[in-house]
Amino acid sequence: MRALLVVNPQATSTTAAGRDVLTKALASELKLDVLQTRYRGHAAEATASAVADGVELVVALGGDGTVNEVVNGLLAAQTGTGSGPPRPDPDATAMLAVVPGGSANVFARALEMPRDPVEATGHVLSALAARRRRLVGLGHADDRWFTFNAGMGWDAEVVAAVERARAQGHEASPGRYALTAIRQYLAQLHRPPSMTVQIPGAAPLGGVRLAFVSNTDPWTYLSGRAVRTNPRSSFGSGLGLFALTGLSPRTIAATLRQMLAADGDPHGKHVVRHDAVPQVRITSDRPLALQLDGDHLGERTDVEFLSVPGALRVVV
32 with 172, same domain?
no
The answer to whether residue 94 sits within a structural domain is yes
Q: Which of 97, 131, 165 is the last residue of a domain?
A: 131
Instruction: Tell me what pLDDT residue 79 has.
Output: 58
Distance CA 230, CA 264 (A): 8
Measured between alpha carbons, how far is residue 104 from residues 11, 39, 126, 189, 237 in Å? 11, 21, 24, 28, 23
Measured between alpha carbons, how far is residue 302 from residues 78, 82, 159, 299 in Å? 23, 19, 19, 10
**Exposure of 224 by Cβ count < 10 A (0-12 exposed, 13-18 middle, 19+ buried)?**
exposed
121 with 159, same domain?
no
127 with 153, same domain?
no
The answer to whether residue 136 sits within a structural domain is no
155 with 202, same domain?
yes
**Exposure of 292 by Cβ count < 10 A (0-12 exposed, 13-18 middle, 19+ buried)?**
buried
70 with 163, same domain?
no
- Verify cis geometry, omega within 30 degrees of 0, for the bond prior to 218: yes
107 with 229, same domain?
no
77 with 195, same domain?
no
Closest by CA to 282, choosing from 195, 191, 206, is 195
293 with 190, same domain?
yes
Divide the 316 residues of the chain into consecutive groups of 10 and give the mean pLDDT of each group.
Answer: 95 88 96 96 97 97 96 81 69 95 93 95 97 96 96 90 81 77 86 94 95 95 90 93 95 95 93 96 95 94 96 96
The answer to whether residue 142 sits within a structural domain is no
Distance CA 239, CA 233 (A): 7
The answer to whether residue 137 sits within a structural domain is no
Beta bridge partners of 152: 211, 290
Q: Could you tell me which residues come within 8 angstroms of residue 43 by beta carbon, excluding any fewer than 6 positions away?
A: 6, 8, 35, 37, 60, 62, 66, 69, 70, 73
**CB distance 108 to 98 below 8 Å:** yes
88 with 204, same domain?
no
121 with 160, same domain?
no
Distance CA 192, CA 208 (A): 9
Domain span holding position 191: 149-307
Distance CA 5, CA 57 (A): 9
Q: Which of 131, 162, 178 is the last residue of a domain?
A: 131
Closest by CA to 41, choosing from 4, 67, 69, is 69
100 with 167, same domain?
no
DSSP label at residue 80: -
Distance CA 231, CA 130 (A): 31
CATH of the domain at 213: 2.60.200.40
Q: Which long-range contacts (CB under 8 A, 24 or more apart) does 108-113 make?
A: 108/67, 109/218, 109/221, 110/148, 110/216, 110/217, 110/218, 110/235, 111/136, 111/314, 111/316, 112/316, 113/316
The answer to whether residue 192 sits within a structural domain is yes
Distance CA 226, CA 79 (A): 32
**CB distance 304 to 281 below 8 Å:** yes
The answer to whether residue 316 sits within a structural domain is no
- Tell me how many domains the chain contains: 2
Tell me, rounded to whole angstroms, the distance of Cα 73 from its chain centroid: 14
Instruction: Tell me what pLDDT residue 77 has.
Output: 67
CATH of the domain at 96: 3.40.50.10330
Distance CA 118, CA 26 (A): 11
The answer to whether residue 289 sits within a structural domain is yes
**CB distance 124 to 97 below 8 Å:** yes
The answer to whether residue 259 sits within a structural domain is yes
**CB distance 43 to 79 below 8 Å:** no
46 with 113, same domain?
yes
Q: Which of 131, 159, 184 is the last residue of a domain?
A: 131
